[in-house]
Structure 1
């Protein structure tokens, strides 16, 4: 059961009461909750046999399927990047990888009912457009042979594109392969910033692809931007936003850069003294909200924005928005099968993840079994909390009565501790309580991850229970 909620429109977002001090007090790094429990809670006691059993069980529910394909290769390494990637210019390396992907498809598809529709398909990376056009065709043919791809107009087949590695012929080829949605990496249009992150990308590359995508009739197009990159200022990022708004993409993702050079070696190439401070970064976020709201975009949640006529905004208004490993989705829940190095699956009541190292992924498949090397089977409490977090982050509200009826429990009693933790956020004006309903305020939408952490039984205590008055 999903509660239907009325969302505030762009004009309401424009009246957001901006409280810099409050935002800084709640400025703690937290999960994005594309899964719950998060990947940090996966364990090595979960292996290929556990995943095979989950695939077989999932046939009883008969949900449609979603396929995620991870293409780890990039020709150029962007300094800010935190993704699992292999930087190389040798496209021949992809041939062996495509062969392993096909082996993984065979092993996973044999456990699935062939009649289940592949409603969603997503190629991510790395850079999927690293593949040559004939390699893309080969991969689509293999996917179709193993799973049977959908020809429905309602399918959601998307691919991430690096505008430096694609042109109008690429888009025409992708359309012929069945893709109907695109996501373009931009990050920033300021040349100084581009040089500082090793991603020089002239505006004309992005504009030409957007124009061609519109002409070809792609259903939706997303642009990725990042706030907090080296040499960015509130004025320079406002100029990037103005140019992006003029391009009129259906969706925008405005991520916040997190500098962790101890974990991501490429970030060591970024000069820490060039990074904008917290106040400047928050000023950029403020400008983002004001400018996108004035341009008519709806703040879906976290770092996602969409035009009111886009399927994301429509789904949110109807209370049917969902979340998966790619973020927000307008489609009904699907069992997700992740294929490729580091890919994560969400099937039935389990999460299963492949090795992050290419060599380990290859060894598993060469040995004739699926590459799963860690995962988790969810308990009843995990599933209830996952549902609560998803509805809160999608609807910006949570109906505890509806949640209790769905799971056959008294939700207010079962979630007594999270509700107590949220009292601090309620006093700070981030959420309001009206009977059994929690409603996130406009300022609370900016901190929705922090609100979701209250329901996370596995979160570090200092994150789940932090009192902003003493932060």
Structure 2
């Protein structure tokens, strides 16, 4: 497939509305407390039939300082003693979860996220991985996709060396912007030297893929200032880049209240930054994976997209679609069988559950047959910019045009507007529509159609 995109300003301005990011379908908005630990236990048990691989996610919620733009579930603190208390419960949760799954099931994906996973010290990191290996079938041959989120201010060469020894072979580096004025406005002071020192160490230790995270739409950003950051990033040629849209939602996220709206770029300036970024990265040889992600043509994400094996989950794009995702730590979200489940959000609730030898699940959802069908349609669109209608019909024993009668009408409008082409055989998102893939997926979101209110960020 053609891995590119076209920036069509008219289309973007007409379609730039709020919508889900579709790290899951149904989205977390549909999770409810009628689905809890007992339901999760049933899905975990049933998932052992067939030896499906596992993906493990560990949430480390602590950050040394708060970045004002952040909308993640995190706790800003300089008290590293909190990590000791948290790790004690996380290790217990690993034991509880590990007992539910067949030990023969290979862990083909593993991810530490946060927060800042490197808030843990080196001994704590060893302990966390050792306990994981004790209770799960963690691979020792470096064939797994084992990744970690890194704040370069909280890591050095010794950290990177240990992470490689523990089995990590991929990392994402948070940068956001190198401009000093922008960094000061968002309370993230981070030098190029410390950032690239971690990147160099990762390459010296044999990390196979390095991704760099940037954000557009931050205070004081301009087209020229962000291009300067891109120039510096491209000099080190990361395998992947994630260019996220800053969604200013101060009513929902308290740290954002410390950002002055007067300092934010206007919508037109923001689009100008995005257009420059897309064109610049494509000219530099990166391919557009979708949903803010770019990769070198030989990177595993790009290869998986061309092969039709790309997948999307709560950690973003992934190369393995066949895993059950077991997530541990406060707020983390699992996908086991045809269900989603989320752990309790506060440390107090999390500690109380684990101390009582209980799973920390407090809400979730059991997917209906309709949910599974719509999830497959949305996943194919968001990962591959198209789908085969006969394949969907065969897989789910439906007549697509009849089942999706209302959606078929809306697809015609998208085609008239130049986002897609479609017929009885296929739906294809054209390059000008790929930045608006969320809008196209929203056509198939039955919950969004029924919703009275929306609480999502804008698609661009």
Output aligned runs, 1:3-18, within 5 Å.
7-9=1-3, 13=5, 16=6, 18=7
Q: Residues 23-46 of structure 1: CA distance to partner in whole angstroms, max 9, x if unpaired?
A: 111111211101000000000101
Gaps of 5+ in 1: 1-6, 465-471
Alignment-derived partner of residue 433 in structure 2: 444
Within a 5 Å distance, the mapping from 1:62-73 to structure 2 comes to 62-73=51-62
Residue 268 of structure 1: aligned partner: 257
1:232 aligns with 2:221: yes
Cα distance, 1:463 vs. partner? Answer: 10
Contact 1:351 1:376 in 2 (8 A): yes
1:241 aligns with 2:230: yes
Show the counterpart of 1:56: 45
Task: Confirm or deny: 8 A CA contact 1:73 1:85 kept in the other structure.
Answer: yes
CA distance in 2, matches of 1:463, 1:157: 40
Give the Cα separation in 1 of the matches to 2:232 and 2:88.
Answer: 41
Alignment of 1:380-391 (within 5 A): 380-391=369-380
User: Mean alpha-carbon deviation: is it higher for 221-230 or for 211-220?
Assistant: 211-220
Write the distance in 2 (CA, Å) between the matches of 1:59 and 1:146. 15
CA displacement, residues 345-379 of structure 1 (integer Å, 9 cap, x when unaligned): 00001101001111111111122210110000000
SS of aligned partner of 2:304: helix
Q: Is the 8 A contact 1:341 1:354 kept in 2?
A: yes
> Is residue 397 of structure 2 the alignment partner of residue 403 of structure 1?
no
TM-superposed CA distance for 1:435, in Å, is 3.2
- CA deviation after TM superposition for structure 1 residue 461, in Å: 5.5
- Kindly provide the CA deviation profile for residues 379-401 of structure 1, in whole angstroms up to 9, marking residues without a partner as x: 00000000000011111011111
User: Is residue 137 of structure 1 aligned with residue 126 of structure 2?
Assistant: yes
Which secondary structure state, in structure 2, belongs to the residue aligned with residue 123 of structure 1? Answer: strand
Q: Does 1:357 align with 2:351?
A: no
Q: Does 1:77 align with 2:66?
A: yes
Q: How far apart are 1:406 and its partner, in Å? A: 1.2
Matched, 1:128 2:122: no
1:33-182 equivalences in 2 (<5 Å):
33-182=22-171
The separation in 2 between residues aligned to 1:462 and 1:41, in whole angstroms, is: 10
- CA–CA distance in structure 2, aligned partners of residues 462 and 91 of structure 1: 42
SS of the aligned residue for 1:447 comes to: helix
Query: How many residue pairs get matched?
Result: 454
Cα distance between partner residues in 1 of 2:90 and 2:137: 16
Match in the other structure for 2:422 = 433
Q: Which residue of 2 aligns with 1:469?
A: none
Unaligned runs of at least 5 residues, structure 2: 454-460
Name the counterpart of 1:223. 212
Counterpart in 1 of 2:367?
378
- Kept in 2, the 8 Å contact 1:30–1:463? The answer is no
Q: How does 1:206-355 map to 2 (within 5 A)?
A: 206-355=195-344
Query: Following TM superposition, by how much is the alpha carbon of 1:422 offset from its aligned partner in structure 2, in angstroms?
Result: 2.0
Task: Report if the CA contact (8 A) 1:341-1:358 is conserved.
Answer: yes
Q: Secondary structure at the residue paired with 2:317?
A: strand
Residues in 2 aligned to 1:418 and 1:463: alpha-carbon distance in whole angstroms:
19
Contact 2:147–2:168, Cα closer than 8 Å, also in 1: yes
Superposed displacement of residue 332, structure 1:
3.7
In structure 1, how many angstroms separate the alpha carbons of the residues matched to 2:452 and 2:349? 33
Q: CA deviation at 1:462?
A: 8.2
SS of residue in 2 equivalent to 1:225: strand
Contact 1:28 / 1:463 at 8 angstroms: preserved in 2?
no
Give the Å deviation of 1:208.
1.4
Q: TM-score, normalised by structure 1?
A: 0.94
Q: 1:19 aligns with which of 8, 27, 32?
A: 8
Aligned to 2:447, the other structure's residue is in SS state coil
**Alignment check: 8 A CA contact 2:146 2:170 kept:** yes
Contact 2:68 2:186 in 1 (8 A): yes
Deviates more, 1:418-427 or 1:170-179: 418-427
Name which of structure 1's ranges 414-423 and 277-286 shifts more when overlaid on structure 2: 414-423
Deviation per residue, 1:258-310 (Å, 9 max, x gap): 00101100000000000001111111110111100000000001100000010
User: How big is the alpha-carbon RMSD for the aligned residues of Structure 1 and Structure 2?
Assistant: 1.5
User: Equivalent of 1:184, from 167, 173, 183?
Assistant: 173
Contact 1:52 1:108 survives alignment (8 Å)? no
Q: TM-score, normalised by structure 2?
A: 0.96
Q: Partners in 2 of 1:63 and 1:32 — Cα distance? A: 26
State which drifts further: 345-354 or 360-369: 360-369
2 CA distance for matches of 1:144 and 1:8? 40
